[in-house]
Amino acid sequence: MSPRILFRAVALAEAATWTLLLLGLALKYLTQTTELGVRIGGGLHGFVFLCYLSITCFTWVNQKWGARTGLLAVVSAVLPYATIPVEKSLERRGLLDGGWRLAAGGETPRGALEKAQAWVLGNPVLAVVLAAAGVAAVFGFLLFLGPPDTWLT
C-alpha cells in the first residue's frame, strides 16, 4: 500500500467518523432521544482520530513534508471534514507521490524517526500489531477518562 492510498483511506475514514459523531450529538442534544450515537460515533471517531494522527506522522516522515505541511495535516483532524481538502491539496501538489522511501532497498535512514520508520517497513506485521496495541492502549486510557467534557469537572 502506497503512502497516497494509506493517507487517503485514513483521511476519508476520519471524515466519515465525524459524520457519525455529529449525528450522535444531534440525537443527544437536538432531539434529546439517546446518547447511544455519541457513545458509538464518539468511540469510533476517537479511535480513527488516533489512527489518522499516527498515519499522518508516518506519512510526514516518509514524504519529507515541512513543518507547516505536517502540522496542517495533523491539525486538520480537529475540524470536521478538514482532512478531505487537506488530502486533496497534498495530492494536487504531489506531496503524496512515490512509495515508501525507507523500505528495503531504498534510502538509508538518517535519524531516529527514519530508523524507526525503516524498521516498521521491514517488519510490517509486528509493527501493525504493536501500533494497534499502542492505539488501543491510548484509546482505552481515554475511555477510562470518560468524555472530554467531563475531564475538567
pLDDT in tens, the chain (153 residues): 899 999 999 999 999 999 999 999 999 999 988 888 888 898 899 889 989 999 999 999 999 999 999 999 999 999 999 999 999 999 999 999 999 999 999 999 999 999 999 999 999 999 989 988 988 898 888 888 887 777 776
**How far is 90 from 3, CA to CA, in rounded Å?**
11
Residue 132 has what pLDDT? 84
In the chain, the N- to C-terminal Cα span, in Å, equals 44
Residue 138 has what pLDDT? 87
CA angle 99/74/150 to nearest 5° reads: 140
Residue 34 has what pLDDT? 86
Residue 153 has what pLDDT? 66
Cell of 102: 525507507
Residue 136 has what pLDDT? 85
**How far is 88 from 136, CA to CA, in rounded Å?**
29
Total domain count, the chain:
1
Phi-psi region of 81 (alpha: psi -120 to 50; beta: other; left: phi over 0): left
**How far is 42 from 56, CA to CA, in rounded Å?**
20
Q: Which domain holds residue 89?
A: 3-150
Residue 27 has what pLDDT? 92
Residues 6+ away with beta carbon under 8 Å from 135: 47, 50, 51, 54
For 32-72, how does the pLDDT look when each residue is reduced to its tens digit (9 = 90+)? Answer: 888 888 888 988 998 899 899 999 999 999 999 999 999 99
Residue 130 has what pLDDT? 92
